[in-house]
Each structure stands twice: as C-alpha cells, then as structure tokens.
Copies of this chain bind each other. A is one copy, B any other.
Amino acid sequence: MANVREKEQFLRFLRGRGQRVTGERLALFDEIFSQHGHIDAEELLRAMKARGLKISRATVYRNLDLLVESGLARKQRLGSRGFLYEHMHSGQQHDHLVCTGCGRVVEFVSPGIAALQAEICRAHGFLPARHTLQIAGLCNRCAEGAVSDGLGVAPATGRLVHV
C-alpha cells in the first residue's frame, strides 16, 4: 500500500469540505489506486462486487466525481463510449496516444504542450487551463501487421513514458 500520501490528501479534502469519510469512499479509493491503467465506472463497480464489497452503482458514480474534484483522479473520454477514470501519478499531467488498430493506450508527458497551451490561451484571452490531447495512430505492432491479422481488440495497457 504505497498510497499513504494520496489517501491522506483525500481525507484532508473530505474533512476540509465537511464531508464524511465513509467505508464506501475508502473502498473506492483503494480500488481505483489498485488499478494500473484507465478504467470505467461500470467495470470498477464490477471489480468491487467481485471482491465481495457491497456498493451501489450510484455511489460509485457519485464518488468518482468526488475523487476527480479532489484532484486525485481524472475523468476522460478515450473510447467511443462513456468516461474512463484514472488515478493521478503524483499529480503529473499526461496525455494519450491511442492505437486505432488494437486500442492500446500509451501515456506520455511532453513539456512542449504546456508551452503551447500557454501561448494559445494568451492569444485568445483565456485563463489558465487544463487540456486534453489525444493522438490517434497505429502503434509499431499494428503498423507492421497492418492487414496481416484479423485479430480483435487487445486489452489496453497504460504505461507512463516521457518524450
């Protein structure tokens, strides 16, 4: 359990807003921090029930949004359907490279984007900001294989890489 720091941050966040620390919130926290890549609410719910935890769909959705507000998780559209959540690696903002062939998602960090974002915002009078950058393309594996195999979609694995 290496998320002591994050869990404390979460507790502080809750107490600071006069919100309660419930068993469900802690369980959800543990679950999402035990996951590696991106996960959607429905799957998270399934995973928790599979572990024998009793929690309802509404609670999962509600508290995922809470986790996002606390800055410990991020909510994003990556697939064509629904939102995906991911916990934050020590607050580091990163972006995604999505392979249109196999669905693999690679995370990366590129300092250049921050500069670009600042420049664009300045030009339009926009205030600070968050951004979402997704690059779609073919990963090396799919680019080679190309038409060669008719395999389905491989499970998406997320790894954080610096450019």
Q: Residues of A with Cβ closer than 8 Å to B?
A: 77, 97, 99, 106, 108, 110, 112-113, 116-117, 119-121, 123-140, 143, 161, 163
State whether B134 touches A108 (Cβ < 8 A): no
Q: Which of B119, B120, B131, B135 contacts A121 (CB 8 A)?
A: B135
Chain A interface main SS type: mixed
State whether A161 touches B97 (Cβ < 8 A): no
> In the complex the two chains form, what is the Cα distance from A39 to B35 in whole Å?
36
Known: A119-B163, A133-B133. A126 touches B110 (CB 8 A): no
Which residues of chain B have C-beta atoms less than 8 A from A135's C-beta?
Answer: 117, 120-121, 126, 129-131
Closest chain-B Cβ to A120's Cβ sits at a distance in Å of 5
> In the complex the two chains form, what is the Cα distance from A133 to B131 in whole Å?
7
> In the complex the two chains form, what is the Cα distance from A30 to B12 in whole Å?
54
Which residues of chain B have C-beta atoms less than 8 A from A129's C-beta?
Answer: 135-138
State whether A128 touches B137 (Cβ < 8 A): yes
State whether A124 touches B108 (Cβ < 8 A): yes
Which residues of chain B have C-beta atoms less than 8 A from A134's C-beta?
Answer: 131-133
Q: What would 14 more interface pairs be, CB under 8 Å, given A110-B116, A119-B163, A131-B133?
A: A97-B121, A99-B126, A108-B123, A116-B116, A123-B163, A124-B140, A124-B163, A125-B139, A125-B140, A127-B137, A127-B140, A128-B138, A130-B135, A132-B133
